[in-house]
Structure 1
Amino acid sequence: MVAAMIPGKETKAREQSMVEQAVRPIVEALVANAPSGWTHAVLHCRAGRGGTSATGGYTPPRDRWNTGVPNPYRELMALAETLRKDRGWEPVSLEFRCRPSGEYRFVAFHDAITRVTGMGSGFQVVLDPDYRLSQPGLQQEPGTAAPAGDPETAVARFRAYLERRAAILGHRDELPPPATAAALDEAERRLGRRLPADLRALYTIADGDGIDYENRYLFQGNAWLSLKSLVAEHTDWSAGERPWYGWDLEWDAVVFDTTPADTVRRCGAHPGWLRFATSEDGNFLAIDTDPARNGRPGQLIRTGRDYDEGPAYLADSVTALLGHYLELLDQGAYERHGDHLSLLEPAGDPAPRQIIGEIPDEVPPTLQAIHINNASALVDLAPLTAAPHLRRLHLNRSTTADLTPVRELPVESLRITLDDGNLTPLAGHPHLTSLDLTTTVPTDLAPLRTIPHLRGLDLSRADAPDPTVLADLTELRYLALTGRQWTTLLDKGEVPPSLTAARLADEDATLDDALAWAARLGLPTENAFRATGSFKSASG
């Protein structure tokens, strides 16, 4: 919970003056960029040491797709710094509203309340900033198989790999000296985990493949990290914590499974993944020391920037990967670029994991996500039962009349427009964690009580005559409703008890509206900063 800091009268007056001085040039920029005939302008901002973002527009709108709203970076950063010093807010949420007469209103608060845009527009409040939704892979059954790697075979293959490279390049790769046994022991102590025996053996040949910031990229375009860098990467990576992108993006997020299934835990990151090679673009090769049921310790995966929806399985060991590299060289499947070799991988499995568009005539069994867009008729979901691993089912601007097929699928994230309003097929669904529901007729929400793992819910486009049912959803962490729906819940004291984040889904809501709403949810908002004023504008 964000604590309120209430300044004294003298401090408050001084602060008021400083903030108002910083506000004025921003309002002037908003007015200066206004189109002819405008009657009202609004600018929503988030500003702090990480930069600024701005949304808003003019009434009447200048353009459907481009509001032309300014983002006066320096002035916003100066205002954010003033509020940081006086209130301790970092970053800060800001709202400016003004008219051609020069009259303006300014409201600021800590970013526990933020403006959100896109499909989920309105305001979001975070009641517990430290809470994170758990990753599904943490509950998966662990693997019990022995490691597949063999240190002697790995060393022999690695030396053969270096010899083959030397024959192609016309010289041997210059590599760092080997890591000592003491250095390996210390690295494992700091990691809190043992390196697989085959990878450990490679470090007794060379401590990575970089000398003076020049790498040999021995692992298929990936620079092999030194022990020191491997430990630092694991430490800097917060021992495997997945980046958190905010509740507006995370509440209905899904982590996909790998192929083969159940080999790697369904996580965006994990403390058991030791990054030992980098493509230097935010992606890595990692050793998996804590595999899922069908995996083996020491298996290799791809993880990093492009793998938030789940890692990719690469090989059961470093030993196997080196054998694969030798096979590619034997086949002549490589290209030379100066002193670097690129191995040419065979074409991968064309069966898709995700489809965007419409349900195909033949649904691939590998399908884990589908986004059905702009369907002109009611969508029949029955063909999707051919996808036994489907985790995400989103109907965008598309409608269905029967949810029965979903009952047979492991769908976790469901976004639908429902024509008959019948949620009964979802009763007791063992996998569903998030539901974004739009309805065309009144809907009984009672079946939601029986969904054991429901954590996120958006009913802002649903006709739900009795939203008080939601009070029985004791595990619900995220809820999006309209202002009218929230009023019904709050007036009757029926807010879900474990709510961590929420959205006020009224596009025309003001920050003042959001502050009043958040206060009813239990967030202290009495320290919000407000200022009104007037100046002679160029159009006034």
Structure 2
Amino acid sequence: MVDQRPPLSSVSDFVTWEPVLRLMLADDTERRADRPARVAGRIGQYGTSLAHRGPMSSTARTAVKDIQRALAQGRVQQIAFRAEVHPDGRATLGLVWPTPVVEPACGYPDLGVLILADGVLPEPWRRRPNPAFRAVPAPSANPELLERTLRERLPDSTGATEEEIAAAEARLGVTLSDEMKVLYRVTRVYSDDDFDLEEADRAGEAIGCEASGLEHLRSVDGTVRHLGWDPGAKRAVSGGPDAAVQSLAGSPGWITFGSNGGDEFAVDLTPGPAGHFGQVILIDHEQSLGAELVADSLTDFVLGRMRKERREHCGEALPVARVGIGGLETIQAAAHPDLEVLTIGFRHGAPFSLAPLRALPHLRTLTALPGTLSDPLEVAGLPGLEFLELGAQEWRLLLDAEAVPRTLKAAAIKVREQDHLPVVAIANEILDLWDRPRIVQTLLSGDLGPAA
């Protein structure tokens, strides 16, 4: 759509963008070959994503700073642009304005991820823990030994009362493990009303980490670890019958009690099939999914008896697969019942058929580069998709056939050069199916002169 009332009139002027376009067309092989040249990028208040070779000219640098200044004054975080320039110099520039229904893309040419429902996250971040009714503490869990050890290390410490521990359980909505109750009976670590840095340091040294006060115990909220649909929709956590830790982003039963200065330690009250109630896990701040078992019990943790074998945070043997150059050779090879995420890339030979994927119960994400599908309408036969990324022409076929899967929660259009300007119109047709607000694009025309 063409916006008749540009959000920022100072930016919605072709002359403002001329130096930026000339910068990106410096290596203008397309126009010199008598073909239209296409460029795309982003400019934000604090940075840019511009494809160009060599240093930026002073004219272009001034233009970028002027645009950034206008964005800041208008409280616009960033603006995406795409342009088509003909050999004779005629140019069409599309300015795509930010909107809550689009999550900006990691790669500059792409429009971003279309969010088709408010507040919905990819399945791994929505996943709730399976009940752990049969889980029991590890043989090494020894509340008496733990209490004796902590009292020896902290002879003058003040512990929490039973009422205070019960209040913490009520606030968290869980029953703490016997070991955790022992820990806080020996030491509160500190309280909000009476913070003593030296006492907190002594408690942390005795426990083996930077320990939290009883009032600061909390469960791990998986939504906080979400990085966005791209790349979130393409991630998975593997698990199985021998998993000690459930494949989750967070759990009401992951109760954090300390940190190593960056990562968090938690007592796990919802362990996996091969885990133990009250085991200690590590939530890595650089990971957005999963947790790592570090000790079978809090007793082991305090005594320094850590797990020597470290497990991976995210396994991608079965849940995630890639087909094409650098990956599997066929769709059949990827069609495992546990497959959740499939990426289809280029290959030498005929495009791929999606027929082998029809019966897969957990397939939720499909990304396919433009031109890699023999029949894009086969997408309609995949009943559980929540994220779909296709090229503009593939989306065009689905829209015309009214075959866009209505199970989708997010979608993306993979852009090729010829699709830069029409992509917003296609995106708006997708958004219309979910009655979502449309994207605003301002189209500007100008003349950059013939190719040098």
Per-residue deviation at 1:97? 4.5
How many residues get paired? 422
Which of 328, 331, 345 is residue 423 of structure 1 equivalent to? 331
CA distance in 1 between counterparts of 2:387 and 2:247 reads 21
Instruction: Report whether the alignment pairs 1:241 with 2:223.
Output: yes
1:165-190 C-alpha deviation (Å, 9 max, x unpaired):
xxxxxxxxxx7632233322222221
- Paired amino acid for 1:243: R
CA distance in 2 between counterparts of 1:495 and 1:416 reads 23
Per-residue deviation at 1:518? 1.2
Partner of 2:253: 272
CA distance in 1 between counterparts of 2:272 and 2:367 reads 32
Gap change, CA 1:46 and 1:229, over 3 Å in 2: farther
Superposition pairs of residues 163-174 of structure 1, within 5 angstroms: none
Partner of 1:303: 283
Partner of 1:44: 41
- Paired amino acid for 1:107: L
Per-residue deviation at 1:277? 0.3
Asked if 1 retains the 8 angstrom alpha-carbon contact of 2:245 and 2:275, the reply is yes
CA distance in 2 between counterparts of 1:312 and 1:161 reads 27
Partner of 1:460: 369
Q: Which runs of 5+ in 1 are unaligned?
A: 85-90, 164-174, 326-344, 355-367, 370-390, 393-410
Instruction: Report whether the alignment pairs 1:522 with 2:434.
Output: no
1:41-98 C-alpha deviation (Å, 9 max, x unpaired):
8553375xxx65532324xxx25xx9999695784374266266xxxxxx66532649
Gap change, CA 1:307 and 1:116, over 3 Å in 2: closer
Instruction: Report whether the alignment pairs 1:131 with 2:111.
Output: no
Partner of 1:341: none
Partner of 2:49: 55
Moved more, 175-184 or 195-204: 175-184
Identical-residue share of aligned pairs (%) = 21
- Paired amino acid for 2:442: R
Instruction: Report whether the alignment pairs 1:252 with 2:234.
Output: yes
Partner of 2:34: none
Superposition pairs of residues 83-162 of structure 1, within 5 angstroms: 93-95=79-81, 97=83, 105-109=93-97, 110-113=99-102, 116-117=105-106, 123-135=112-124, 138=128, 140=130, 142=132, 144-148=134-138, 149-162=141-154
TM-score normalised by L of structure 1 = 0.65
3-state DSSP of counterpart to 2:408: coil
Gap change, CA 1:176 and 1:486, over 3 Å in 2: same
Moved more, 126-135 or 288-297: 126-135
1:469-520 C-alpha deviation (Å, 9 max, x unpaired):
2112121111222222222222222222212222222232566422211122
Asked if 1 retains the 8 angstrom alpha-carbon contact of 2:246 and 2:271, the reply is yes
Asked if 2 retains the 8 angstrom alpha-carbon contact of 1:96 and 1:105, the reply is yes
- Paired amino acid for 1:158: L
Which of 314, 320, 336 is residue 413 of structure 1 equivalent to? 320
Gap change, CA 1:98 and 1:448, over 3 Å in 2: closer
Per-residue deviation at 1:441? 1.8
CA distance in 1 between counterparts of 2:100 and 2:149 reads 54
Asked if 1 retains the 8 angstrom alpha-carbon contact of 2:370 and 2:414, the reply is no
Moved more, 139-148 or 116-125: 116-125
CA distance in 2 between counterparts of 1:535 and 1:185 reads 73
The structure where strand makes up a greater share of residues is: 1
Partner of 1:21: 10
* Structure with greater contact order relative to length (CA < 8 Å, sep ≥ 6): 2
Instruction: Report whether the alignment pairs 1:225 with 2:212.
Output: yes
Asked if 2 retains the 8 angstrom alpha-carbon contact of 1:241 and 1:270, the reply is no
3-state DSSP of counterpart to 2:217: helix
Per-residue deviation at 1:531? 5.3
CA distance in 2 between counterparts of 1:420 and 1:244 reads 28
TM-score normalised by L of structure 2 = 0.76
Per-residue deviation at 1:457? 0.9
Asked if 2 retains the 8 angstrom alpha-carbon contact of 1:43 and 1:54, the reply is no
Partner of 1:200: 181
3-state DSSP of counterpart to 1:504: strand
Superposition pairs of residues 206-221 of structure 1, within 5 angstroms: 206-208=187-189, 211-212=196-197, 215-216=201-202, 217-218=204-205
Instruction: Report whether the alignment pairs 1:495 with 2:408.
Output: no
RMSD of equivalent CA atoms: 4.3
